[in-house]
Structure 1
Amino acid sequence: MTVITSTTPLAEGPSGRKPQHFSPARIGVYVFLIMAAAFFLLPLYVMVMTSLKTMPEIRQGNIFALPQAWTVEAWSQAWSSACTGLNCGGIRVGFWNSVKILIPSMILSIFIASLTGYALSFWRVAGANVLFAILLLGAFIPYQVFLYPLVRLYAGIGIYSTLPCIIITHTVFGLPVLTLLFRNYYASLPLELFKAARVDGAGLWQIFFLLMLPMSIPILVVAGILQVTGIWNDFLFGVVFAGRENLPMTVQLNNIVNSTQGEKLYNVNMAATILTALVPLIVYFGSGRWFVRGITSGAVKG
């Protein structure tokens, strides 16, 4: 018996030119990323440094220089004693108003949208496609078109310029996009799970709470991030519907920055701006991994 042996060493790796670690294309990508990071981070750097300086140092004009005397007095003033006209309660008033607006609006909009998306995906309601098309149409109409009709409607039923008024507004306007997300997510799930639950005798609510919601954690996080950033950063609805006693943080920030009385305190304005943006930043950095997972696990499938 003839034994055929190979003359090629088994341990020999693939032949060819060794890839370059710093090719022109890779260097170009790094340069672009560095420039993009500098473009977005430079304003934040200026804001933080300005908020840590005193006003005499700011007047010197060196906006990129580090503070000569580091101080957080502007942050304390922005939070508790910054003035908007005759009211000097700081931006903390707007913070708690935003919290009171955000939590119920987010819970209601996500619950209703998830239930609607679930019903449109599995229960085949009569006219479901027409209802879904009408719901999506609302997402493409500018919000300004609805302002006057909503003001008249809320005034007619007696809730204009109240906390329920702004909560209902954010809930309703969050439904089109959120319903699309949940419908597409549930449509990507195996239909056999739903059929098996129906065979076992489960009804609409049992399937929704015991089967669908536990499987919806990624898309729930996506919806939560979208609602937190959208509601927290909102200015238009807050200034129109919230009322004087419930103005959110963005409206309070505008009133502080654009106040025409006294000296323009740039360090306080910068500190107030960062405090206003802090909640969306924390949400993004804290749940960015879940956001990507939710988007890629069915949120953009159709």
Structure 2
Amino acid sequence: MSVSPPFKGLRPNGRKPKRTTPARWGIYAFLIITAVFFALPLYVMIVTSLKPMTEIRLGNILALPDAWTVEAWVKAWSSACTGLNCNGISVGFFNSVTILIPSVFVSILVGSLTGYALSFWRVRGANILFGAMMIVAFIPYQIFLYPLVRVFSFIGLGQSLLTIIIVHTIFGLPTMTLLFRNYFCALPPELYKAARVDGAGFYQIYRRIMMPMAIPMIVVAVILQVTGIWNDFILGLVFSGRENLPMTVQLNNIVNSTQGERTYNVDMAATMLTALLPLVVYFASGRWFLRGIAAGAVKG
């Protein structure tokens, strides 16, 4: 005996909706205009970096190169000049990597540990500490520049690699704590209680339960910190010192150096090299970024 589906033979009333409505055309137009707005400068930068200067002087910035060359990229990396130094932007690249790795690692480690403590371990004054961190996270860091310069000068650090790493770690802690605290608050509290019943302590729960479940939020934290620290200019200019200038500061020096002919292809290649690492990190983990942001915004 066969049973027919309950809705078999029924047809929806009314007209079939149109596939293309004015609202949809408006969305398509907005997306196309936005894509062109952001893609056109990138296209100009890439095309200009692959042209020789003889073609750039012709003034047609949208034309494809007649003679494709990566000479500008090689020069930007190894021999572009900043004043009297012609070591290329590779020096700033390795300085930025040296600053980036410990700053990202320490800020995420301490921020996740603090966020975990504020979400499950109800210590005295936790709400006050969390509120203070939220306030500090949205205060422009330019306000703290002079006091920090005075403090580091007083304790004898001055401008050094350690100083810039400490500064980036400190400024990243409020945001990292906020992200991880919100994410951990959204997890079922039964996980924490069951681990406590089984005899797990503070660090065991953090290491074996919380952090493995926080992979999406860790990816979000890495993207935010890598982007912020790598693209920073003013903190690197103030605290790193001449021997540890990050890539952004060196790029500014290369672009603003005027010695003879202005080599626009080298400037564009140096700019692309500076932006390469954050772009790779973002595109490699974009879906995790959206997933982590949504998960961390569920509960505050």
TM-score, length-scaled by structure 2: 0.95
Provide the rounded CA distance (Å) in 2 between the counterparts of 1:135 and 1:195.
27
Aligned twin of 1:253 = 251
Q: How does 1:34-49 map to 2 (within 5 A)?
A: 34-49=32-47
Aligned twin of 2:170 = 172
1:193 is paired with a residue of what secondary structure?
A: helix
Aligned twin of 1:294 = 292
Q: 1:191 to 1:54 in 2, by over 3 A?
A: same
Q: 1:9 to 1:43 in 2, by over 3 A?
A: closer
- The alpha carbon displacement at 1:9 in A equals 9.5
- The alpha carbon displacement at 1:71 in A equals 0.7
1:114 and 2:109 are equivalent in the alignment: no
Q: Aligned Cα RMSD in Å?
A: 1.5
Aligned twin of 2:222 = 224
Aligned twin of 2:146 = 148
Q: Which amino acid aligns with 1:35?
A: I
Provide the rounded CA distance (Å) in 1 between the counterparts of 2:66 and 2:56.
10
1:76 and 2:109 are equivalent in the alignment: no
Provide the rounded CA distance (Å) in 2 between the counterparts of 1:298 and 1:155.
38
Q: 1:99 to 1:22 in 2, by over 3 A?
A: same
Aligned twin of 1:130 = 128
- The alpha carbon displacement at 1:91 in A equals 0.4
**Residue of 148, 159, 162 corresponding to 1:161:** 159
- The alpha carbon displacement at 1:14 in A equals 2.8
1:202 is paired with a residue of what secondary structure?
A: coil
- The alpha carbon displacement at 1:18 in A equals 2.3
- The alpha carbon displacement at 1:13 in A equals 4.0
**Residue of 51, 54, 62 corresponding to 1:53:** 51
Q: Which amino acid aligns with 1:51?
A: S
2:39 is paired with a residue of what secondary structure?
A: helix
Provide the rounded CA distance (Å) in 2 between the counterparts of 1:283 and 1:63.
29
Moved more, 271-280 or 128-137: 128-137
* Identity in percent: 70
Aligned twin of 2:202 = 204
Aligned partners of 1:50 and 1:58 also within 8 Å: yes
Provide the rounded CA distance (Å) in 1 between the counterparts of 2:285 and 2:160.
32
1:51-97 deviation digits (Å, cap 9, x = unpaired): 11111211111011111111110001001100001110100111000
1:220-267 deviation digits (Å, cap 9, x = unpaired): 000010000000000011000011111000001000000022221100
Provide the rounded CA distance (Å) in 2 between the counterparts of 1:14 and 1:300.
36
Q: Which amino acid aligns with 2:162?
A: P
Q: 1:57 to 1:133 in 2, by over 3 A?
A: same
Q: 1:277 to 1:9 in 2, by over 3 A?
A: closer
Provide the rounded CA distance (Å) in 1 between the counterparts of 2:100 and 2:49.
27
Provide the rounded CA distance (Å) in 2 between the counterparts of 1:181 and 1:293.
13
- Number of corresponding residues: 296
Provide the rounded CA distance (Å) in 2 between the counterparts of 1:60 and 1:54.
11
Question: Unaligned regions of 5+ residues in structure 2, if any?
Answer: none
Provide the rounded CA distance (Å) in 1 between the counterparts of 2:182 and 2:8.
50
TM-score, length-scaled by structure 1: 0.95
Aligned twin of 1:193 = 191
Aligned partners of 1:182 and 1:299 also within 8 Å: no
1:83-119 deviation digits (Å, cap 9, x = unpaired): 0011101001110000000000000000000000000
Moved more, 58-67 or 15-24: 15-24
Provide the rounded CA distance (Å) in 2 between the counterparts of 1:297 and 1:150.
35
1:266-296 deviation digits (Å, cap 9, x = unpaired): 0000000011001111111111100001011
